[in-house]
A and B are shown apart, each in its own frame.
Chain A
Amino acid sequence: MDSPAVEIIDLVKRYGRTTAIDGLSLRAGRGAVTAVLGPNGAGKTSTVEICEGFRRPDGGTVSVLGLDPARPELRARVGVMLQSGGVPPAMRCGEWLRLTARFYANPLDPAALLDRLGLTEHARTPYRRLSGGQQQRVSLAAAVIGRPELVFLDEPTAGLDPQARHACWELVGDLRAAGVSVVLTTHHMDEAEKLSDHVVIIDHGRVVAEGTPASLTGAERQLRFRARPGLALDELLTALPAGSAAKESPAGHYIIEGQVGPELLATVTAWCAAEGVTADDLSIERRTLEDVFLELTGRELR
């Protein structure tokens, strides 16, 4: 049990001339929820599919539960939820779960799992007639039915309505409580912040930052407001206490960091008034993972 759930060192994956993964290293701890966060095309799915044994790396080493991902004995110990598809469209979803259950020695009760995910009334519905959110839940159920040690969930809540999303989050929480390691990909900040013990932010096939959600976002609060683009922030800074920082990112969105309190708030609003500027949507917030991502890559996540 000493090896991490997943350990990736200097992973490289190329498709033709495109380098999808470019020297990526990450470690997902046992019994923890690790979120791999990044925009579309960052290399999330490639990374996960290499860990699942679907693809072979072009460079670097990957070990899953201490083993080469291609090892067949991992199939019984690792649960997989693909980003889409994977279920015969004409098969009833209850039938699919009963079938997958029979591939494992100690499976969960398919009926109880259907109930848990709110799918009981759809057990006899063919997969293709289910809504997108219901299909996602069927795939999630199939990923955990064999009682795996490690679960890979590739964008588990993409396209889910809020209720279904909540059900998925709850199940992830229960998996974690039961000691299951979870690796999930997402481009929803709130999902990563809420669910994970460890966040790995990737872009262009490399890790750009990692840590706990709190360590990435920091404890510091910030003052944000919107106004016309191009305000002279240098002038504003001279009015603020030393150690403060101000920036405009993206255009028209201003962020002030430092000792955020009544004094700073008063200084900023007074300065805006003197400039003849109305500060809209003025708020004091903690940094979000979205901000962290934007700072690191200069790109929006979604």
Chain B
Amino acid sequence: MTTNTPVPGLDLTPAGAAAPLPAMVLAQAGAEIRAMLRNGEQLLLTMIIPVLLLVGFSSAPLVDVGGGSRVDFTTPGVLALAVMSTAFTGQAIATGFERRYGVLKRLGATPLSRTGLLLAKTLAVVAVEAVQVAVIAGVAFALGWRPGGSPLAALALIALGTAAFSGLGLLMAGTLRAEATLAGANLVYLLLLGCGGVIFPLSAFPDAVEPALELLPISALAGGLRAALSDGSGPPVAAAAVLAVWAALTLGLASRTFRWE
């Protein structure tokens, strides 16, 4: 230990003042992004599984996608999966454990307000999504993806989907024990991956359940992206509406029930 030699430059004279809000939000967002990219399990969910699914289901005739090209069908679904993995699964698990380890409480004692913290989390999620979209689109292009339609509509859907999935993730993280959030978030990821029109078209399910499945946020995002990124289909209004309702519902509930400790 070096405690006996006073270090120059350690002026403890009180001078407590908050940094500007944007600086605090950027600092926290940077830390969250680093944590996400450093976590092996998170990378598996956010990068590796989506890319493997994209390559596998685009190259091999594993599912009947109707008449179109495999990669054109698979890529929007995988993009939706990527958004869900970051905004929902990753965020729910990370936030659940931050709550359990007292990190949310401790941050509450810094000048970073709760609004600032939520802004930082959103910023971090969006930044990681940008990396995911770049990687997935790059691989898809290499596999012969030829998107049409409106990229702008696709971005709007991704934004709505991010809000809906963040609300769902924060709802779990703020109310359940961290272990329950971990198990629950992975389970929901798998269920929505299987029955949300990501890889398997919803038309593969019995007619009785298909309308119900279409109301899932993942189906709305996957289906909406598929429509937005192909020529000839109108703007994906129904999908956007489903996502907006999910977002309003989950964010509203989360903000009422979230326990910081």
What is A's interface to B at a CB cutoff of 8 Å? 52-54, 72-73, 75-80, 82, 84-91, 95, 99-100, 102-106, 108-109, 112-113, 115-118, 120, 142, 144, 146-149, 163-164, 166-167, 170, 174-175, 177-180
Q: How far is the CB of B7 from chain A (nearest CB, A)?
A: 5
Additional 10 contacts, C-beta under 8 A, given A77-B16, A80-B106, A86-B103? A52-B109, A75-B18, A82-B109, A84-B102, A85-B106, A87-B103, A90-B39, A95-B31, A95-B34, A103-B112
Q: Does any Cβ of A come within 8 Å of B19's Cβ?
A: yes
Which residue of chain A has the shortest Cβ distance to B4 in the bound complex? A170
How far, in angstroms, from A120 to B7 measured CA to CA in the complex? 12
Which residue of chain B has the shortest Cβ distance to A126 in the bound complex? B38
Contacts A87-B101, A116-B7, A118-B1 known; A106 to B108 CB distance under 8 Å? no
Please name all residues of chain B whose beta carbon is closer than 8 Å to the beta carbon of A144 when the two chains form the complex.
Answer: 12
Contacts A86-B102, A117-B3, A148-B16 known; A75 to B11 CB distance under 8 Å? no
Which residue of chain B has the shortest Cβ distance to A167 in the bound complex? B3
Q: 24 interchain pairs (CB within 8 A)?
A: A53-B108, A53-B109, A54-B108, A72-B111, A73-B18, A75-B111, A79-B16, A85-B101, A86-B101, A86-B106, A88-B35, A88-B98, A99-B28, A102-B23, A104-B16, A104-B19, A105-B17, A108-B10, A144-B12, A146-B16, A146-B111, A147-B16, A175-B12, A178-B14
Which residue of chain B has the shortest Cβ distance to A170 in the bound complex? B3
Chain B 35-56, CB within 8 Å of chain A: the 1/0 string? 1001100000000000000000
Q: Does any Cβ of A come within 8 Å of B249's Cβ?
A: no
Please name all residues of chain B whose beta carbon is closer than 8 Å to the beta carbon of A88 when the two chains form the complex.
Answer: 35, 98, 101, 103
The 10 closest A-B pairs by CB, nearest first: A86-B106, A85-B102, A118-B1, A102-B27, A178-B12, A105-B17, A80-B109, A76-B18, A149-B14, A77-B16
Q: Which range holds the interface residue count of chain B?
A: 35 or more
Q: Are A75 and B110 in contact (CB under 8 A)?
A: yes
How far, in angstroms, from A95 to B34 measured CA to CA in the complex? 11
Q: Are B10 and A105 in contact (CB under 8 A)?
A: no
